[in-house]
Amino acid sequence: MKNKLLFLSTVLSFLILPAASQKHACDQGSAKTSNFSFCDTSLSYEARAKDLVSRLTLEEKAQQLVDPSAGISRLGVPAYEWWSEALHGVSNLGPGTRFDKRVPGATSFPAVILSAASFNASLWHKMGQVVSTEARAMYNVDLAGLTFWSPNVNVFRDPRWGRGQETPGEDPLVVSRYAVKYVRGLQEVEDEADRLKVSSCCKHYTAYDLDNWKAVDRFHFDAKVTKQDLEDTYQPPFKSCVEEGHVSSVMCSYNRVNGIPTCADPDLLKGVIRGQWSLDGYIVSDCDSVEVYYDAIHYTSTPEDAVALALKAGLNMNCGDFLKKYTANAVNLKKVDVATVDQALVYNYIVLMRLGFFDDPKSLPFANLGPSDVCTKDNQQLALDAAKQGIVLLENNGALPLSQTNIKKLAVIGPNANATTVMISNYAGIPCRYTSPLQGLQKYTSSVNYAPGCSNVKCGNQSLIAAAVKAAASADAVVLVVGLDQSIEAEGLDRENLTLPGFKRSLWKMWLMLPKEK
């Protein structure tokens, strides 16, 4: 008999946060508010947004520039939580989305780095459509928002970056194609070009590919980028997002580019995103990034200067509370014009109007969606297809496909062999269900011997390796499932090398030392 090896690699997910209920403005049952011009659907979105902004006090304006926005009760405009996530399925990482007994989970597609490896553009579009349908279904029962800060379209240039798992990979062309298809799948409403199914956001703009590496973190990182490298590598996915995907939001990043914080750079924001690419939407900061360039790198001398710099550069929405705290004072100190604040709000409100937040919910194209439209059989099958299409077989010496005739005893080895949450990567929600590699292989043959070999993916000691060697020695075939999780690479955690951690290499070597013939 021959010992055969199948090498699998997996990644991990975050735990996630609760959310606030979402409502709508322009309640037709209220004579007090429904007669405002901003509720008049015969007017253009811009006219309606400008009318609404004209009715706000300066303090009220400042409260609408942040996530969450406070709303204006006297005008019948409720508070709104802008931050929801949908990187590869509806996620409850952002506070705008939650799960409960009505919708306990949503369809979870593979980590983006895997789905992108399918090189199947029509698949990426279908994924976006499924995610937006489930998002709308959850919104209709007050479990989700309508503005999703996804996808991540940064180029995965250095494989040690902890967030590479979120991205479509290292090729600017592939990242661009993925961005366009996924964004369109999320946003497009058939036969209604101005409408949005949900709002998508391409992030993190730009030249962002370091989180925390050798004492340099993303808050202090200054990316030194040539003009050619910026145009050839980092900008194409964002340009495609805006010009071809018609994305309704772009998020600026924490880092600086050539000395200037991206969220304070008028050339990058007003000049490129708004001017050259003609963004039809809003520009949002990564969370607390305005505060970061004031407090962490002391780029400005006062908070008001930081806020004024961001608004004049073209920022429209602040994830965090910095603009709420200091915008009014910045205006009063004449550091920024109120007209600049007004224009930022107009961009924000136009997106909410395109989403139907200011319309009768029953009149919207997706009003009939509900919990039964989440985790459908077809949606779960598409997620499975995406996983299959993205698998990359590096080498096959005859081991695959595994023969059910010849393989009576199967050894499943490795700390990720019985993984569940590890498999769904980061920025994930709660999936419809889990099937671990072990559970899947147990359906293949009744005689499966499972030995983790290490207590966790860091594999800090060799105490469990002997049992794994014993299991492998008595098997007809061995499936070794190692890989990483969020304790090795994650947001805020880059890798210093590309080797398997701890004693996991010993698991590999133990198989190599086994006799190949019996």
Q: Count CB-CB contacts under 10 A for residue 315.
A: 28
Cα 504 from chain centre:
30
Residue 72 phi, psi (nearest 5): -135, 95
Please say whether the dihedral angle defined by the alpha carbons of residues 451, 453, 458 and 461, taken in this order, is positive or negative.
positive
Burial group, residue 380, by CB count within 10 angstroms (0-12, 13-18, 19+): middle
Contact 422, 482 (CB under 8 A): no
> Are residues 147 and 87 in contact, defined by beta-carbon separation less than 8 angstroms?
no
End-to-end CA distance of the chain: 5
Look at the block and give the residue holding tokens 């499932």: 481
Please state whether 428 falls in left (phi above 0), alpha (psi between -120 and 50) or beta.
Answer: beta
d(CA 482, CA 417): 7
Largest CA distance in the chain: 85
- Angstrom distances, CA of residue 196 to CA of 116, 261, 346: 24, 30, 17
Q: What is the DSSP string of 11-65?
A: --------------SS-TT-HHHHTSGGG-TTS-HHHHHHHHHHT--HHHHHHHS
Distance of CA 443 to the CA centre of its chain: 32
Active site residues: 286
Helix, coil or strand: residue 282: strand
Assess contact for 225 and 258: CB atoms under 8 A: yes
212-213/448-451 β-pairing: unpaired
Q: What angle do CA 472, 437, 134 make, to 5 degrees?
A: 175
Q: How far is CA 190 from each of CA 222, 365, 376, rounded to the nearest angstrom? A: 42, 9, 21
- Nearest in space to 410 (alpha carbons), one of 388, 433, 440: 440
3-state secondary structure 198-232: CEECEEEECCCCCCEECCEECCCCEECCCHHHHHH
Question: What is the DSSP secondary structure assignment for residue 75, as one 8-state letter?
Answer: G
Measure the CA–CA gap between 115 and 391, rounded to whole angstroms: 8
Helix (H) or strand (E) holding 147: strand 147-148
